[in-house]
Structure 1
Amino acid sequence: MVVAAIELYLDTDATRRIRALWHALEAEGIPTLASLLNERHRPHLSLAAAHRLAPDAVAEALRDLDVGRGLALELDFVGQFVGRVLWLGATVTEELLAHHRAVHERLTAAGVEVWDHYRPGRWVPHCTVSMRVPNPLMGHAIRRCLEILPVRATVTGAAVTDHANDIAHPLGHGRPADDVSR
């Protein structure tokens, strides 16, 4: 399945800690985003996702919004979605919800379609660890995630991404996003 997203990137320390978690899990036979799509992913929190997002349309819709930059995040719990998806949960704050709502209001006004479960009122802010934890290893993977928590992070940049099609289009208000390279 092709997935495009608006990704918020984390500061260096938080990124380092989550990458270390990914690599520890990989060493224990648990696939993570580190190995998905030839290591194109970096730790992030997605504000919106769809099968496709036109980077230029998204950038235009959000052109005068400093997408995510400076938001404080607290990753302090572990969660699962159906299908063996494991993630670190971000504490919901009014600032985070207001920013998410502002992004979606602009996307809607511009006619940019996103999946319903990323819309305000349904969105679960999270940083994905693995899309496919083997069932027998789920308990171990959860314990390993708990070992690194809490992770305090600051959003340093954002991009529209479609990793399957090698798209990483930085978003920002007059400033380039932090390095969006892998």
Structure 2
Amino acid sequence: MVAALELYLDVDATRRVRTLWRALETEGIPTLGSLHQKHRPHVSLAAARTIDPVAAAEALDGLAVGRGLTLRMDFAGQFVGRVLWLGVTVTGALLDHHRAVHERLAAGGVPIWEQYQPGRWVPHCTVSLRVPNPMMAPAIRRCLEILPLTATVTGAAIADHANDIAHPL
């Protein structure tokens, strides 16, 4: 199980990422579009095995989580374990917002995985969690076809798709 604080993208950016998902699926590469069929294109500010959505919402009360942030995706990358993603270019505004969110979550007693903490977080929009090894290079090339991609954050939620949790913030 994985729960995350997800930032959602504007309509045009969402459409472009979903188009990428469909193109990769056509080539036999599984994407978030087919996993649970509940995922929306997003950038996660925080993740953990579980996140109590009520505790997180209370900790973040009064903070417009992600609203108005502009995210620019300029590169593709991969994490160990065949995870493919679109990389978000780091800005001062993004890092400041990320830090503010984590300070509030910590003060509210909401535990978050270490790799999502300020100073360790790699901002990204996940494309696939399991690209077959022989397909990684073609998948990266396909990702590069839609870049650069600029997105405005239009919403946020605590999401745990395996448990049907989607708690708007």
Q: TM-score range by the shorter chain?
A: over 0.9
* CA deviations over 1:10-45 (Å, ceiling 9, x no partner): 0000000000000000000000000101x1000000
Corresponding residue for 2:145? Answer: 147
TM-score (norm 1): 0.92
The CA deviation at 1:162 is 0.3
Q: Distance in 2 between matches of 1:119 and 1:26?
A: 32
Corresponding residue for 1:22? Answer: 21
TM-score (norm 2): 1.00
Q: Distance in 1 between matches of 2:76 and 2:39?
A: 19
C-alpha root-mean-square deviation of aligned residues, in Å? 0.3
Q: Distance in 1 between matches of 2:23 and 2:98?
A: 31
Corresponding residue for 1:111? Answer: 109
Corresponding residue for 1:74? Answer: 72
User: What is the one-letter code of the residue matched to 1:76?
Assistant: D
User: What is the one-letter code of the residue matched to 1:94?
Assistant: G
**Unpaired stretches in structure 2, ≥5 consecutive residues:** none
1:1-182 mapped onto 2 (5 Å cutoff)? 2-37=1-36, 39-171=37-169
Q: How many residues align?
A: 169
Q: Distance in 2 between matches of 1:8 and 1:141?
A: 24
After TM superposition, what 4+ stretches of structure 1 lie above 4 angstroms from structure 2? none
User: What is the one-letter code of the residue matched to 1:155?
Assistant: V
Q: Distance in 1 between matches of 2:108 and 2:61?
A: 11
* CA deviations over 1:107-132 (Å, ceiling 9, x no partner): 00111100000000000000000000
Q: Distance in 1 between matches of 2:78 and 2:134?
A: 14
**Unpaired stretches in structure 1, ≥5 consecutive residues:** 172-182
Q: Distance in 1 between matches of 2:125 and 2:150?
A: 12
Secondary structure class of the residue paired with 1:138 = helix
The CA deviation at 1:90 is 0.3
